[in-house]
Amino acid sequence: MELYYHSTRNEKERVSASKAILQGLANDGGLFVPESIPALDTDLDHLKDMSYKEVAYEVMKLFLTDFTKEELMYCIEHAYDDKFDTKELVPLKKVDNAWVLELFHGPTIAFKDMALSILPYLMTTSAQKNALKEEIIILTATSGDTGKAAMAGFADVPGTRIVVFYPKNGVSPVQEKQMLTQRGKNVKVVGITGNFDDAQSGVKQMFHDGALKEKLREGGFVFSSANSINIGRLVPQVVYYVYACAQLLKRGAVKPGEKINVCVPTGNFGNILAAYYAKKMGAPIGRLICASNSNKVLYDFFRTGTYDKLHSLDEKAGEFNTDRHFMLTSSPSMDILISSNLERLIYTITGEDTKKNSAYMESLAKEGKYHLSDAEKAKLADFTGGCAGEEEVAQRIKEVFESDGYIMDTHTAVASSVEKKCRRELGGAATLIASTASPYKFLRSVLSAIDEKKYASLSDEALFNEMEKLSSVAIPPAIQDILSAPVLHDTVCETGDMEKEVLKFLGL
Ligand SMILES: *Cc1c(COP(=O)(O)O)cnc(C)c1O
């Protein structure tokens, strides 16, 4: 049976999976959601003996029902090859009584690679299936990791071009160098003078601009998105949660029937939503722990059922009574106040009511907030929100290094800190922490958490060597690459000039 997708804001815009992938965002500004979440049709006992790629097929075939087996296998085989620096693709490590799922062994050493190494294949296959004539223009806003991973995936892929916008002063030096050294005739990187939310809004605006769309069509182009709103990103992310559950069963970390809590360092809410979908498919997942850094809008939301991007919750008073400011932290990929993918959860907990969801999203756009009803709030019980400030993150990195000799990146440390704080309260047979980046990527923050005085005066290059000594993990090829690669991009623009830059790149 074919699974269709429709917008979170109206049921009438109904498309196949391949069309949803090509289009990225629904025309009404909503996100595509599957009409139902499919149930796993292979039990964990079988999945536990399968390779990552085999599990990927078992999960993805249920969501992308208009792809043939050959097409899906082709995409999976080409995505998960020796671009990854480990044969297991996603190693699981036991660290201080939790299981750390290392999702950062792909070409850009962040978890975005798990989805972005397959998205170009899913997209070009979708273009063929739908006899698309236009060249696909991928437009992406990035808080640091998506941009590089998307460019690495789409570089020199025939029939596509990609433009990435990032906050000029809001990404780590390694992240920026990774982007600015990207090769490929079809790639363009632009720093903007605003923050990530500005970049994301600018991109969304271009997607919704009818006149711009028409202009592109005349030029033989069509926009699509590699952001985590694309279901072609979301579906491949469901895979590793199912795989990890099966592997924990195989290792005897849990017994059949026992539940695994999952803790995810969260920004745009894509990764944790994938874990929620895995749970709905039947994976033995207990609580979903949503870990935020100091930009704790999601923490406040799970506490109260109110999403307020303008005001921050004062827990003692139980009121949103202070202005919320966007903060730059040591975990920049989570510095987000508008979590796009949350809309898919809101849609689900309103009882899949597109009207109610639309009303909430309109309220968010107009007033900067919305309040769930009590009945809706009760349906958030699968989730626990937690947050960790900068000091807690640094302390956790140091503590885990000292207890286990394991070095985690700043994003993973947000999750680990939160996990530790709610461990006793939540119980559960085992907890899985999604580790979203290599510590090499956030080198200076990580090492100064371990010993601020010792490392403060060292250059980045010296720090790479220190990290290698301390972690006993060899400098990843992705880092060796950027140390020698020339900078190829230097465009910076005002937030208001994003469209101009796109048109210039396309020669329109
Ligand atoms: C993108 C990213 C996150 C946040 O993931 P979301 O799916 O946006 O919630 C966390 N950590 C790292 C390293 C990332 O790159």
What percent of the chain has pLDDT above 90? 90
Considering Cα of 20, then 25, then 28, then 34, what sign does the dihedral take? positive
Alpha carbon distances (Å) from 139 to 165, 198, 344 = 8, 14, 21
Known catalytic residues are: 112
Give yes or no for residue 486 having a pLDDT over 90.
yes
Report whether pLDDT(145) > 90: no
* pLDDT surpassing 90 at residue 208: no
**Residue 338 C-alpha to ligand 1 middle, in angstroms?**
13
pLDDT digits (tens, 9 = 90+) for 178-206: 999 999 999 999 999 999 889 989 998 99
In this prediction, residues 17-31 reach a mean pLDDT of 93
End-to-end CA distance of the chain: 42
pLDDT value of residue 75: 97
Of the residues 271, 290, 293, 299, which should be mutated to test ligand 1's pocket, given the most ligand atoms within 8 Å of the CB? 271
Tell me what pLDDT residue 80 has: 97
Give the pair of three-digit tokens for residue 211. Answer: 């006149």
Mutate to test the pocket of ligand 1, among 178, 433, 436 (most ligand atoms within 8 A of CB): 436
Separation of alpha carbons 361 and 354, rounded Å = 10
What mean pLDDT do residues 328-339 have? 92
Residue with the two structure tokens 């080198």? 443
* Interval between CA 334 and ligand 1 midpoint (Å): 6
Going by the DSSP 8-state scheme, the letter that residue 160 receives in this structure is: E
Given the CA of residue 268, which atom of ligand 1 is nearest to it?
A: 8
Residue 374 has pLDDT above 90, yes or no: yes
Comparing 37 with 208, which gets the higher pLDDT?
37
Tell which wins on pLDDT, 311 or 25: 311
Determine the residue of 171, 411, 416, 446 to mutate for testing ligand 1's pocket, defined as the one with the most ligand atoms within 8 A of the Cβ atom: 411
pLDDT at 460: 87
390-441 pLDDT tens trace: 999 999 999 999 999 999 999 999 999 999 999 989 988 899 999 999 999 9
Q: What's the pLDDT at 143?
A: 83
pLDDT, position 485: 92
For 401-405, the CB contacts below 8 A with 24+ separation are 401/450, 401/470, 403/96, 404/95, 404/96, 405/472
State residue 231's pLDDT score.
Answer: 97
| Residues near ligand 1 (Cβ within 6 A) | 110-112, 145, 228, 265-271, 333-334, 411, 436-437
Mean pLDDT on 271-284: 98
Kindly state the greatest CA–CA separation across the chain: 61
CB atoms within 10 A of CB 319: 12
User: Which atom of ligand 1 is the closest one to the Cα of 274?
Assistant: 7
Burial of 257 (0-12, 13-18, 19+ CB in 10 A): exposed
Cα 340 to ligand 1 centroid, rounded to whole Å = 12
For residue 335, the CA-to-ligand 1 centroid distance in Å is 9
More confident residue, 354 or 225: 354
Q: Which atom of ligand 1 is nearest to the CA of 237?
A: 7
Amino acid in position 157: V
Tell me the CA–centroid distance for residue 176 and ligand 1, in Å: 16
Looking at ligand 1, which atom is closest to the CA of residue 144? 15
At 59-103, the pLDDT tens digits run: 999 999 999 999 999 999 999 999 999 999 999 999 999 999 999
Sign of CA dihedral 486, 447, 339, 34: positive
Q: Please check the confidence at residue 20 and state whether its pLDDT lies above 90.
A: yes
Q: What is the DSSP string of 288-312?
A: EEEEE-S--HHHHHHHHSEEESSEE
> What is d(CA 188, CA 489) in angstroms, rounded to the nearest whole number?
7
The helix or strand, by DSSP H or E, that contains position 502, with its residue range, turns out to be: helix 498-506
Residue 369, classed as helix, strand or coil, is: strand
